[in-house]
Amino acid sequence: MDKKVSILIVDDEESVRDSLYNWFIDDGYIVECAENAKKALSILEKKDFDIILADIKMPGMDGMEMHRRIKTLNKEPIFIIMTAFASVDTAVQALKDGAYDYITKPFDPDDLSHLIRNAAAQVSLKVENENLRNKITSLTDIEDLIGESDAMMKVLKEVESVAQSNSSVIITGESGTGKELIARAIHSNSSRKYFPLISVHCGALTESLLESELFGHEKGAFTGATFNRKGRFEMADGGTIFLDEIATISSKMQIELLRVLESKTFVRVGGNKEVSSDFRVICATNRDLKTMVKSGTFREDLYYRLNVVNIVIPPLRERVEDIPLLANHFIKKYCTSMSRNLIFIEPSAMKQLEEFEFPGNVRELENMIERAIVIGNGKDIRLKDLPMGKEVINSSIESLDDLESKHIAMILNKYSWNISRTAKALNVDRATLYNKIKKYKLIQE
Amino acid sequence: MSCAHIEKDTARFIAEDIMREFNYPVLFKECSVDLSVFYNPGRRQYDANRILKQVSELSSPNSVKIMGLFSVDLFIPILTYIFGQAILNGNTGIASLYRLRNELYGLEQDTALLIERFRKVIIHELGHTFGLIHCPNPICIMRSSTYVEDIDQKKIHFCHHCQTELNGRRKEEENH
C-alpha cells in the first residue's frame, strides 16, 4: 500500500488552519497544524512531513525565515508559501529560496487541489527514486570482492581512493584474480554509479569487429550493417567503459583509442558526424604493459594515458589467508543458488586448499567449491570432493629428486619393502633401487 | 433542515436518495435562519464554517446526522467558494445550491441538472460525516469535486470500496 502523504499547515489564523485541515483530511492526507513558525520547527525536529504549507506573514518568524531554518535541519519537505498579498517580488524570493510554489489566499479550490496533488506526486516520485537508488546500490554491491589479507586490503584502499576521481585506471593481475570485479567496485563507488558500466573483452574480437563494437557504425558501413548502431563508448556516456585484455589490441586500434581518450569524441564506422561521450576508462591486462612498451608492441603514449593509476591484484597464492574466507563465501553463494542447506568444509580439505597454488586464482577456487558442492554428500566438503586430492601433485614437492624419493617410498610401502617386487614395479634393477634407497635415506617405518 | 425553499418533489428525491444510500429515515424540515449574520461584505459570501457550527447546534438527540441546505454562496477563509462542507466523522453537514446553477456559468437554466447536482453534494457531504474521505474513483460520489463538471461526471452512488467502508462505519456508529 502507498504511504500516505503528510502535510504540516503553519498559519497564525485559526480559521485558515481549520479549513485547510478539514480540506486535506477529506482528501485522506495526514495533517498537522502549527500556529507559528517556532511551534512548526519544534514539531519538525521530532517528525518529518512531506509537504509544508506555510503562511508568509506570521508574527515572530515569517514563512521565509522558517523555510531557511528548516533547511538547516537537513530536511527536504516540499515547501509551499501561502500569501494574502500577491506580489511578484515575494513569489520570486520564495521560489529562489527553494520553495516548491506559492499560492494566494483565498485559493480557488481547484488550484489548491492541483497544487497539492502535484506536490504529492513529486513526493511519491522522490520516494520511488530513493527506492530505485537503494535497489541499484544493492545490485552493485560487490559481493565477491572478499579478502582481509594485507595485500587485498591495500587493493581495496586503492579502489576507494581512485573511485571518486575520474582518472584512467589499469588493473593488472593474473587470470582469475578478479580484475573485472575491481573495475565494478571502482565504478559502483564512483559518482558515475547510476550510469552504465560497459565491458568490452578486447581479446575476443577481431580488429574490425572491435572498431565497430567500440565506435558503433552507420547503416551500410559494411556488409551486414543493416541499421545504425551505437558503439560501446557512446553507451558508456556518463558511466565507465571497462576494456579487458587491453594488451591484445592492434597498433591501429591503439592509435584510435588514444585519439578517443584525448578528445572524448569519435566518428562511427561509416559515418561522418562526430559523436561525443563522457566516459571513464578502466583497463585490465594480465600482461606486463611496460615490457610491451619497451619491446615496441604497445604504444608508450597510450600506456601513459591509460596508466594514471595502476592497481595490481595479487595472485591467490600470495594471500593464502583469504582462502578460507573465499571458500566459505563461495559455499554460501552456491548453497543458496542451488537451494541447499549450508554445508561446511572439513579441516583437512581446507588445509589442502590453503596449500594449493591455484594457478587459476580465485576463479579456480570458486569452480572447485561449486564442483565439490555438486558432487559432494550434501553435508560437508571432504578432501575427496576436491580435484587436487587426486590429480594435483603435492605443492610441497618442488624438485624431481623430491618427487622420485616420495614415489619410491610409496611403492616400497605398497609392496611392504619387498625389494624385488618394488624394483619390478618401478622397472629398475635391484641394484639401482638399493642405490636410490641409500641416496634418499629411505627407512622402513 | 432546509433554508433553500426547496420544492416538495425535490425534497422527496433527496429523502429517497439518503434513505437508499444510508438506510436511515429522513425528516425534512423547513427552517428560517437569519443568514445575514454570516454574511461577509468583503467577499460578498457567507461563512460556511460559522453556518456549519450554527446547524450543528440545531441537531436533536434523536437525529443521527443533520444536513443544512442553503441557496447562498458559501466560502471558507482559504477557498474562493465551496459547494458544501461537513465535519469528518461528525454529525453535521451543509450544502448550497448557489454554485450549482448553470446560469452562474453563463449557461441555460437546467432545473433537473441543478437538482441532480444538489443531491450529489448532499450525499457526498453526508458521506464525510460517516468518516468517508475523498475517493480516487472518478464516478464515485465521494470523488472530490472542485467544478460543477466534476459533480456531473460522478454518479449518485458510492463505489464498492466506499460502500464497504460506509457499512463498516455505520456498524461502528450503531454499536456506539
Collect all residues of chain B within an 8 Å Cβ-Cβ radius of residue A26. 88, 128, 133-134, 144
Nearest residue on chain A to B50, judged by CA atoms?
A: A15
Residue A143 lies in a domain: no
Alpha carbon separation from B3 to A138, A304, A367, B24, B120 (Å, rounded): 64, 90, 86, 22, 18
| Residues A178, A268 share a domain | yes
Q: How far is A82 from chain B (nearest CA, A)?
A: 10
Q: Which three cell numbers stand for residue B53?
A: 457550527
Specify whether the CB–CB gap between A35 and A12 falls below 8 A.
yes
Write out chain A's pLDDT in tens, 445 residues: 456 889 999 999 888 888 888 888 888 899 999 999 999 999 998 888 999 999 888 888 888 889 888 888 777 889 998 887 666 677 778 888 888 888 888 888 888 888 998 998 888 888 888 777 766 655 455 566 788 888 888 898 888 889 888 899 999 999 889 898 899 889 988 889 888 999 999 888 888 888 888 998 888 777 777 788 888 999 999 999 999 999 999 999 999 999 998 888 888 888 888 888 999 999 999 888 999 999 999 999 999 999 899 999 999 999 999 999 899 989 988 888 888 888 889 888 898 898 888 888 999 999 999 988 888 887 888 888 888 755 544 455 567 788 888 889 888 888 888 898 899 888 888 889 999 998 888 887 6
Q: Supply the ipTM of this predicted assembly.
A: 0.76
Q: Which three cell numbers stand for residue A43?
A: 514539531
User: Best interface-test mutation with B: which of A9, A20, A22, A107 has the largest number of B CBs within 10 A?
Assistant: A22
* B125 given a catalytic annotation: yes
Q: Which of A267, A296, A312 is the last residue of a domain?
A: A312
pTM, full prediction: 0.53
Binary contact (B80, A112; C-beta < 8 A): no
User: What is the distance between the alpha carbons of residues A251 and A268, in angstroms, rounded to a whole number?
Assistant: 19
Best interface-test mutation with A: which of B49, B73, B78, B132 has the largest number of A CBs within 10 A?
B78
Q: Which residues of B touch A110 (CB under 8 A)?
A: 146-147
Determine whether the interchain pair B77/A16 forms a contact, defined as Cβ–Cβ distance below 8 Å.
Answer: yes
Q: Which of B7, B16, B125, B174 is catalytic?
A: B125
| B43 interaction partners in chain A (CB closer than 8 Å) | 106
Positions of E strands within A118-217 = 169-172, 197-201, 216-217
Place of cell 521530532: A46
Residue A189 resides in a domain: yes
Kindly state whether residues A409 and A271 are assigned to the same domain: no
- Decide if A105 and B78 are in contact by the 8 Å CB cutoff: yes
Model confidence pLDDT, tens digit, residues B78-128 = 889 999 999 889 999 999 999 999 999 999 999 999 999 999 999 999 999
Mean pLDDT of B13-37: 88
**Chain B residues with beta carbon closer than 8 angstroms to that of A113:** 144, 146
Residue A144 inside a domain? The answer is no
Chain B: closest CA distance from residue A20 (Å): 7
**Residues A224 and A270 grouped into a single domain:** yes
What is d(CA A100, CA A78) in angstroms, rounded to the nearest whole number?
A: 6
Q: Spell out which residues of chain A touch residue B162, defining contact as CB-CB under 8 Å.
A: none
* Domain CATH for A27: 3.40.50.2300
What CATH code is carried by the domain that includes residue A335?
Answer: 1.10.8.60
With CB atoms and an 8 Å threshold, state whether B128 touches A26.
Answer: yes
pLDDT the model gives residue A107? 86
- pLDDT at residue A393 in the model: 43
Q: Which position has the grid cell 601513459?
A: A304
**Domain count of chain A?**
4
Is residue A31 domain-resident? yes
Q: Do A106 and B75 touch (CB under 8 A)?
A: yes
* Peptide bond between residue A106 and the one before it cis (omega within 30 degrees of 0): yes
Domain that includes residue A368, residue range: 317-391
C-alpha cell at B11: 425534497
Contacts with B42 from chain A: Cβ below 8 Å: none
Handedness of CA A12, A16, A20, A21 (dihedral sign): positive
CATH, domain B8-125, list 3.40.390.10, 2.20.25.90, 3.90.1150.10, 3.40.50.2000: 3.40.390.10
Domain final residue, candidates A136, A165, A194? A136
pLDDT of B85 reads 93
Test B144 with A113 for CB contact under 8 angstroms: yes
Are residues A71 and A12 located together in one domain of the fold? yes
Contacts with B150 (C-beta within 8 Å, 6 or more apart), sequence order: B143, B144
- CA dihedral sign, ordered A202, A206, A208, A212: negative
Do A212 and A174 belong to one domain? yes
Task: Spell out the residues 6+ positions from residue B11 whose beta carbon is closer than 8 angstroms to its own.
Answer: B2, B28
A242 and A174, same structural domain?
yes
Are residues A157 and A306 located together in one domain of the fold? yes
CATH number, domain containing residue A428? 1.10.10
Q: Are residues A306 and A430 in the same domain?
A: no
**CATH code for the domain in which residue A257 is found:** 3.40.50.300
Confidence at residue A389, expressed as pLDDT on a 0 to 100 scale: 53
For chain B, what are the domain ranges? Answer: 8-125
Interface touch A109/B82, C-beta < 8 Å: yes
